[in-house]
A and B are shown apart, each in its own frame.
Chain A
Amino acid sequence: MGTFHTGKHELHGITVVVETEGEETFVGRCDDMDDEKVILLDVDVHRAGESEVSKEDYLRQAAQWGVFAKHRHLVVDRSKVTAVNRLGEL
């Protein structure tokens, strides 16, 4: 048994990878999602232009262990999102 949440997107509570058209890739727990935004909790961000680790290596590491969250709450503009996938399925 556990607590469940109604009225949220089907990915609510699921750790997702949010890829964007820019250099940022977000990994966090999806709180909700609609046509305008993706709301994430406990989020880490990979910035391709700033990180010494490639996006591929970052996601490989994230898929194995998870991520250390740098943001408790973050909203991503849906118009910039190119893909949302479950981290557990990478």
Chain B
Amino acid sequence: MPYSPLLVKPMREELTAIGFEELMTGEEVGNWPGAKEGTGLLVINSVCGCAAGMARPGVRLALEESDKKPAHVATVFAGQDQEATAAARGLFPQVPPSSPSMAFFKDGELAYFLPRHRIEGRSAEDVAADLKSAFAEHC
């Protein structure tokens, strides 16, 4: 059963407040340019504090501290927007599903993926460091 929208709202806003486009349907995911051209970061957001609590601040830090950034940033919310999440995972079917997780696309290809188990128990700074390395390499 999905969590209350009221509980999830601030977790959505942690990303939308820093410029993330929230994709809430499969059609919106299909139309998202970040997976088709240039560079795009797609965050699979999640409620779970065991990992997501550091994922969102990690993303924010990475974007604040990077000179090179993805041209498009978007998010889907696992367990909430199920159609959108399934469509997002369909963009990289070779990767086992996990949330939170982050997919970085370049020119329509998956260039980098940060799965949940690489976020769990780490600090926001550590998560940001991984993302900044990916941005520096691919942006």
Q: Is B53 an interface residue when CB atoms closer than 8 A count as contact? A: yes
Distance from B108 Cβ to chain A, minimum over Cβ atoms (Å): 20
Query: In the complex, A69 Cα to B52 Cα: how many Å?
Result: 20
Distance from B56 Cβ to chain A, minimum over Cβ atoms (Å): 8
Q: Is B116 an interface residue when CB atoms closer than 8 A count as contact? A: yes
User: Does the CB pair A2–B115 fall under 8 Å?
Assistant: no
Closest to A27 in B: B117
Interface residues on B, range: 20 to 34
Known A15-B116, A66-B96, A66-B115; judge A2-B121 contact (CB<8 A).
Answer: no
Q: Is A14 an interface residue when CB atoms closer than 8 A count as contact? A: yes
- 8 Å CB interface, A62-90 against B: 63, 65-69, 86-88
Distance from A5 Cβ to chain B, minimum over Cβ atoms (Å): 8
Q: Is B25 an interface residue when CB atoms closer than 8 A count as contact? A: no
Q: Mark B38-76, 1 if CB is under 8 A from A, else 0.
A: 000000001111111100000000000000000000000
User: Does the CB pair B122–A88 fall under 8 Å?
Assistant: yes
Distance from A49 Cβ to chain B, minimum over Cβ atoms (Å): 23
- Secondary structure of the B contact surface, majority rule: loop
User: Does the CB pair B53–A2 fall under 8 Å?
Assistant: yes
Query: In the complex, A4 Cα to B53 Cα: how many Å?
Result: 9
Closest to A14 in B: B120
Count chain A residues whose beta carbon lies closer than 8 angstroms to a beta carbon of B: 18
Q: Is B95 an interface residue when CB atoms closer than 8 A count as contact? A: yes
User: Does the CB pair A86–B117 fall under 8 Å?
Assistant: yes
Query: In the complex, A69 Cα to B99 Cα: how many Å?
Result: 13
User: Does the CB pair A65–B49 fall under 8 Å?
Assistant: no
Query: In the complex, A1 Cα to B53 Cα: how many Å?
Result: 5
User: Does the CB pair B47–A66 fall under 8 Å?
Assistant: no
Closest to B101 in A: A66
Q: Which A residues touch B96, using CB under 8 A?
A: 65-69
Q: Is B138 an interface residue when CB atoms closer than 8 A count as contact? A: no
Contacts from B to A (Cβ < 8 Å): 3, 7, 10-11, 14, 46-53, 94-98, 113, 115-122
Q: What are the nearest 5 A-B pairs in CB distance?
A: A13-B50, A2-B49, A2-B53, A15-B117, A66-B96
